[in-house]
Amino acid sequence: MEATQEKQPPHNIALLPPPGFIGHFIPFIELAKKLVYRHSCTATLIIIPDDGSPMNPQKAAFLRGLPPTIKTILLPPVSTDDLAENINVEMLVPIRVIRSLPALRETLTFLRDDSSCSQASALVLDLFAPHAIDVAKEFNIPAYIFYVVAANELSFCIDLPKYDELCTSEYNDMPEPIKLPGSLVLNPNDIPDAIKERNSDLHKLGLDLCRRILFADGIMVNSFLELESEAFKDLETRLHDIPPVYAVGPLIRTGAETESDRGSECLNWLNEQPPNSVLFVSFGSGGTLSIEQFHQLALGLEMSEQRFLWVVRRPQENAAGAYLNINNDKGSGSFDEFLPHGFLERTKGRGLVVPSWAPQIQVLRHASTGGFVTHCGWNSILESVVFGVPLIAWPLCFEHKMNAVFLTDGLKAALRVKENEETGIVYRDHIAMIVKGLIQGEEGKQLRIVMSHFQNAASNVLSQNGSSTKALAQVVKKWISGN
Provide the pLDDT confidence category of residue 258 given band limits of 50, 70 and 90.
Answer: low
Same domain for 383 and 237: no
In a domain, 229, yes or no: yes
In a domain, 402, yes or no: yes
Provide the pLDDT confidence category of residue 3 given band limits of 50, 70 and 90.
Answer: very low
In a domain, 43, yes or no: yes
Catalytic residue (one of 11, 50, 126, 234): 126
Instruction: Tell me which of 200 and 123 has the higher pLDDT.
Output: 123
Please tell me the predicted confidence (pLDDT) of residue 262. 59
In a domain, 301, yes or no: yes
Same domain for 232 and 335: no
What is the average pLDDT value for the chain, to the nearest integer?
Answer: 89
Same domain for 333 and 208: no
Give residue-wise pLDDT tens across range 96-152. 999 999 999 999 999 998 766 678 999 999 999 999 999 999 999 999 999 999 999
Highest mean pLDDT among 243-257, 282-296, 399-413: 399-413
Same domain for 277 and 240: no
Same domain for 156 and 121: yes
Across 395-422, average pLDDT: 93
Same domain for 181 and 94: yes
User: What percentage of the chain carries pLDDT values higher than 70?
Assistant: 89
Give residue-wise pLDDT tens across range 300-316. 999 999 999 999 988 87
Instruction: Tell me which of 168 and 320 has the higher pLDDT.
Output: 168
Same domain for 365 and 237: no
Work out how many domains the chain is built from and give that number.
2
Same domain for 470 and 324: no
3-state per-residue secondary structure call for the chain: CCCCCCCCCCCEEEEECCCCCHHHHHHHHHHHHHHHHCCCCEEEEEECCCCCCCCCHHHHHHHCCCCCCEEEEECCCCCCCCCCCCCCHHHHHHHHHHHCHHHHHHHHHHHHHCCCCCCEEEEEEECCCHHHHHHHHHCCCCEEEEECCCHHHHHHHHHHHHHHHHCCCCHHHCCCCEEECCCEEECHHHCCHHHCCCCCHHHHHHHHHHHHHCCCCEEEECCCCCCCHHHHHHHHCCCCCCCCEEECCCCCCCCCCCCHHHHHHHHHHHHCCCCCCEEEECCCCCCCCCHHHHHHHHHHHHHHCCEEEEEECCCCCCCCHHHHCCCCCCCCCCCHHHCCCCHHHHCECCEEEEECCCCHHHHHHCCCEEEEEECCCHHHHHHHHHHCCCEEECCCCCCHHHHHHHHHHHHCCEEECCCCCCCCCCCHHHHHHHHHHHHHCHHHHHHHHHHHHHHHHHHHHCCCCCHHHHHHHHHHHHHHHCC
Instruction: Tell me which of 327 and 387 has the higher pLDDT.
Output: 387
In a domain, 89, yes or no: yes
Same domain for 151 and 200: yes
Please tell me the predicted confidence (pLDDT) of residue 329. 52
Q: Which CATH number do you get for residue 414?
A: 3.40.50.2000
Give residue-wise pLDDT tens across range 61-76. 888 889 999 999 999 9
**Full residue range of the structural domain in which residue 408 is found:** 260-459
Across 232-246, average pLDDT: 95
Same domain for 38 and 75: yes
Give residue-wise pLDDT tens across range 447-476. 999 999 999 999 999 999 999 999 999 999
Same domain for 280 and 238: no
* 126 catalytic residue (yes or no): yes
Please tell me the predicted confidence (pLDDT) of residue 374. 96
* 203 catalytic residue (yes or no): no
